[in-house]
Chain A
């Protein structure tokens, strides 16, 4: 079953997800089909609770689909793997470890054949990439929210993943910090060339960063409503795009999807 194909690097085929809880069963996702190209940056956008994180966790291998199949590089996704790194919504750094130790924990496992010096060099390099060398010996509660999220990104990148999965990575940050980190993420992704899937509920973030924006309908039984191609040239500059016609058109397309066709009934 050789499916390794640059156009179908990550594949979701007829994926359904039903949760069995004490209150009964809940069908979160129904009939998700998606092919992600190698090196592509995909955003998943949708209203809160529609199942974005569930899609990401399925790709990460943290959840198993009730129906359907998921593939990465031609192999079925059976569980988490080092080629798929995750940046979690709330950074999920271990508070009793320093930034360095948090990243080292990931590096140590993935590159278990290397010497300690090599592992430390990798860790330092990853922390430097996100501009945090000066804070590498601090604990997470001694640094700001933006810095924590940077460490989370460093931890994921240090594993040298093929696919980077980001779950609302900047959701909890203030607008300025968020813009900064978005710009840096764009640079890092351009350099590393790895495939990325990012969950977001921020329209500007989705359009600015992505090659394609996947728009999800509301749950239960949420699915992919539409996929929007973003053919803006890279590197993208936030200020220039603000007045760009194409950018604003794409932006309003997403807004129309979210607030006209699939408006969430006020809770």
Chain B
């Protein structure tokens, strides 16, 4: 019992020593203060602009509205009036589906393109032609083919998320050092072993970069797509609140979209770190 008490006291005593206090202060000034200051500045500028523009609600008014909104995020008053939580989940589900399909097709395709020069040359013009097209331009095609709004939105997510995964995976495969391929040849490894023991581990970090870029694009696009397709979703919610002229809710939606995007990015960065062999 006494032992554990001592162990508990020791680090506390240490952390109050002068030198560690200094490093703590240093860390605070270097890593904590600047971001807080940046966010504070954003709020101040927003407050100043809203002072001059009566239509734009200020931070305090928006905060009050947000507290009210998030006190009951999962209410359900029929198809066109659901809590903000439902809307976020609906958008996440669409992104998940479109993004998952894109990974399922984009990653293997990237491997094939990276591995076989003929296929790489064959697909290069198609990719260069289609990739710069704005994702929303694909929406009418989706509506036409699927004859429903929801699959069309998922289709738009798919088409915008698939390119970074194809391209990054293919680039990774192209960068596999000749040394490793020589090892594969000298050891006479089967194509399966080459893929699982050499290509896949090497390409994984490139692939994860593609996945991260994809999820970013997908989340960017979903808001715009939902504005056009309607239904339940954060994008449609923004549009609906614009029609209701509830500007506080639009500003809240902007923050929500930003925060969810940030979280998605963080989660994927963590996963990517897990997979790195360095």
Give residues in A with beta carbon < 8 Å to B: 60-62, 79-82, 84-86, 88, 90, 92, 94-97, 105-106, 109, 139, 141, 159
Contact = CB atoms under 8 A, between A and B. Distances in A.
A62 B187 contact: no
A62 B277 contact: no
A96 B201 contact: yes
20 contacts: A62-B185, A81-B188, A82-B188, A84-B186, A85-B186, A86-B182, A88-B179, A88-B182, A92-B179, A92-B182, A94-B183, A94-B197, A96-B201, A96-B202, A96-B277, A105-B187, A105-B189, A106-B187, A139-B277, A159-B187
Nearest to A102: B183
Contacts of B190: 109
Contacts of B242: none
Contacts of B185: 61-62, 79-80
Interface centre among B201, B202, B277, B278 (most CB of A within 10 A): B277
Contacts of A92: 179-180, 182-183
Nearest to B189: A109
A87 B163 CA distance: 39
A81 B188 CA distance: 7
Given A94-B198, A105-B189, 16 more contacts: A60-B186, A79-B185, A80-B185, A81-B188, A85-B186, A86-B186, A88-B179, A88-B182, A92-B179, A92-B180, A95-B278, A96-B202, A106-B187, A109-B190, A109-B193, A141-B278
Nearest to A82: B188
Contacts of A86: 182, 186
**Chain B interface category by residue count:** 10 to 19
Given A80-B188, A94-B197, A62 B183 contact: no
A96 B201 CA distance: 7
Contact of B277 (A82, A95, A109): A95
A35 to B, nearest CB: 23
A201 B42 CA distance: 64
A94 B194 CA distance: 11
A159 B187 CA distance: 9
Contacts of A95: 277-278
Contact of B193 (A60, A96, A105): A105
Nearest to A97: B197
Interface of B: 179-180, 182-183, 185-190, 193, 197-198, 201-202, 277-278
B182 A62 contact: yes
Interface centre among A60, A62, A90, A92 (most CB of B within 10 A): A92
Contacts of A109: 187-190, 193
A84 B187 CA distance: 10
A252 B142 CA distance: 79
A141 B197 CA distance: 17
A43 B266 CA distance: 54
A237 B193 CA distance: 43
B180 to A, nearest CB: 7
Nearest to A107: B187
Contacts of B188: 80-82, 109
Nearest to A159: B187
Nearest to B187: A106
A170 B193 CA distance: 29
A105 B197 contact: yes
A62 B201 contact: no
Contacts of A97: 197
Nearest to A57: B182
Nearest to A108: B193
Contacts of B186: 60, 62, 80, 84-86
Nearest to B202: A96
B190 to A, nearest CB: 8
Contacts of A61: 185
A139 B179 CA distance: 18
Contacts of B278: 95, 141
Contacts of B202: 96
Contacts of B180: 92, 94
B160 to A, nearest CB: 31
Contacts of A94: 180, 183, 197-198, 201
A92 B176 CA distance: 12
A84 B198 CA distance: 21
Contacts of B197: 94, 97, 105
A88 B177 CA distance: 13
A137 to B, nearest CB: 15
Contacts of B187: 105-106, 109, 159
A93 to B, nearest CB: 8
Nearest to A93: B183
Contacts of A88: 179, 182-183
